[in-house]
Structures are given as structure tokens and as C-alpha cells.
Amino acid sequence: MKFEITIFQDEDGVFIAECPSIPGCVSQGKTRPEAEQNIKEAIKDCLEVRAERGMPLTVTTSRVEVCV
């Protein structure tokens, strides 16, 4: 399965990775590659827990345009 992820660096220099289509699925790493590897593991764990609890595996995400 393929998932969209976001990665950003916080004010402490830690890379935060999130999977928007799985609520609460967040991880981090000292480097961007480490954060990417960690979010892959977190996605697997989140999917497993959601399946065990009978929850939908993912939620629908969409893009909106905001004029600034």
C-alpha cells in the first residue's frame, strides 16, 4: 500500500513525519530519512491497531485551495 506523508523540521531540529490519512499516525527522527523510515513502521502499527479495533483503516483526505 502507498500512503502520502508529510515531513517537516520542528523548532528543535527534529523531523516530524505524519500520515494524514491515518488519524494520529505520527513519528519523528533526527534526520529526514530516519523520520521516513519511522513513519513507515508507525503506519504498519497504526493499521494493525485500527484493524484489531474494527476501525476504518484510513480516512478520506482532500485538497482545498486557499487564497492568501
CATH number at residue 57: 3.30.160.250
Range of the domain at 68: 1-68
Pick 62 or 9 by higher pLDDT.
9
Contact between 16 and 7 (Cβ < 8 Å): yes
34: its cell numbers: 530516519
Dist CA 14 CA 29 (whole Å): 6
As a whole number of Å, the CA-based R_g of the chain is 13
User: pTM to 2 decimals?
Assistant: 0.89
Confidence of residue 60 (pLDDT cuts 50, 70, 90): very high
Average pLDDT in the chain: 96
Domain count, the chain: 1
Closest CA to 43 of 65, 61, 18, 64: 18
Confidence of residue 67 (pLDDT cuts 50, 70, 90): very high
The residue type of 4 is: E
Average pLDDT over residues 17-40: 98
